[in-house]
Amino acid sequence: MRALIQRVTEARVTVDGEIIGQTGPGLLVLVCAMLGDDPAKADLLAAKIAKLRIFQDPVGKMNLSLRDTGGSALVVSQFTLAADTRSGNRPGFSSAASPDEGRSLYEHFTGALRHQGVACETGLFGASMQVSLVNDGPVTIWLDV
């Protein structure tokens, strides 16, 4: 699985003008299921994100995890993270999981993140969404498992 995480002071996702998910201080997690991914990879990614030490401790060093800070996550599915841009000008997405498999792994990932003790809200799988955020730092990290 692949994720782009951003440390945020706030983030929200809207569909048709209605806020369907939001978070205060914590993470915006854009996540993509890739061909060959399975629930074990979703579990591994969730554990990595929950434990990743990218929040500042009292002396200003990035030394705390999302669990340590009690922050929350907004998890948004984004198959475009699978974009292959090596040739031509139009990205290909053939390395993304099928929509049914992607939805299942997205839901499994979100459940695994909650199981790690992280409160999280979500976007709407497959919908056209508008995502807004205030990146904190900025801290943006790409993860592949």
78 carries an active-site annotation: yes
Q: Of 6, 23, 78, 122, which one is the catalytic site residue?
A: 78
Contact assessment for residue 11 and residue 120, using Cβ atoms and an 8 Å cutoff: no
Q: Determine the Cα–Cα distance for residues 26 and 10; give it in Å rounded to an integer.
A: 7
Q: Determine the Cα–Cα distance for residues 115 and 48; give it in Å rounded to an integer.
A: 13
Give the pair of three-digit tokens for residue 134. 């205030």
125 carries an active-site annotation: no
Q: Of 6, 23, 79, 109, which one is the catalytic site residue?
A: 79
56 carries an active-site annotation: no
Q: Compute the CA torsion angle 98, 21, 118, 7 (nearest 10 deg).
A: 90
Strand pairing report for 119-122 and 72-77: parallel
Q: What is the DSSP letter of 81?
A: G
Q: Of 80, 93, 130, 140, which one is the catalytic site residue?
A: 80
Distances (CA, A) of 101 to 1, 32, 83, 125, 131: 12, 11, 17, 12, 23
- Residues identified as active-site: 78-80
